[in-house]
Amino acid sequence: MTPVDKARLRRRVAILLVVLPIVIAGLVLGGVFLGFYVGEMIGLRGSAIMAVTFSTLGLLVSLIIAYVAAKRTATI
């Protein structure tokens, strides 16, 4: 691995360490808001079950994104 490749890998890892927590938090919080909205639309006022369901889906999607990003970064 050349010094240029090492620098590129180091930069890419640093970017992932900054971006991935933002993506995870955004998808989980988006799932919470979407869950409360859908719960309100179907008449489940005050029920958090839809919010928990959608936030869990957001977490699963963000974990898949993190896995794919880490796999792509590791194969440079």
Q: For the segment 24-60, what is each residue's pLDDT rounded down to a tens digit? A: 999 999 999 999 999 999 988 777 899 999 999 999 9
Would 76 be classed as within a structural domain?
no
Would 50 be classed as within a structural domain?
yes
What pLDDT score does 76 carry?
63
Would 41 be classed as within a structural domain?
yes
SS3 47: coil
Would 7 be classed as within a structural domain?
no
pTM attached to this predicted model: 0.83
SS3 breakdown of the chain: % helix, strand, coil, rounded to 5? 85, 0, 15
SS3 75: coil
What pLDDT score does 46 carry?
75
Would 62 be classed as within a structural domain?
yes
CB environment 29-68: b (16+ within 10 A), e (fewer) = ebbbebbbeebeeeeeeeeeebbeebbebbeebbeeebee
Would 6 be classed as within a structural domain?
no
**Domain coverage including residue 57:** 29-69
Would 37 be classed as within a structural domain?
yes
Would 18 be classed as within a structural domain?
no
Number of domains composing the chain = 1
